Amino acid sequence: MEQIVSQPYKYYFWKRFFLFFIPLMVVGILSEPMIIQNPFEELEDYGAFLFFILFYIIVFGGLAALIVSIMWRIRQFKLKH
């Protein structure tokens, strides 16, 4: 019974995850001056760029996953009632 429930969730999650993740990343990157206005003159500039990109990927990935999981729970609650 758990396999039947977990497969639709995985499909639901991965189908909608990138629909939230990509717009969040675009808005996040466009609003961050450390990424957009980085002069890349020193090695520290490359490190800061890499840090901010990875930070945004982790944070916005978690936020997108949270949104999709909440949507799944709401959908399951509506289907039960």
Q: Could you report the per-residue pLDDT of 52-61, keeping only the tens digit for each?
A: 999 999 999 9
pTM (two decimals): 0.82
Chain segment 32-74, per-residue pLDDT in tens: 998 899 999 999 999 999 999 999 999 999 999 999 999 999 9
Q: Give the span between the Cα atoms of 75 and 56, in whole angstroms.
A: 28
Q: Give the span between the Cα atoms of 66 and 57, in whole angstroms.
A: 14
Q: Give the span between the Cα atoms of 60 and 21, in whole angstroms.
A: 6
Tokens 């999709």 belong to residue: 68
Q: Is 9 helix (H, G, I), strand (E, B) or coil?
A: helix
Enclosing H/E stretch for 69: helix 43-80
Of 25, 9, 15, residue with least CA distance to 59: 25
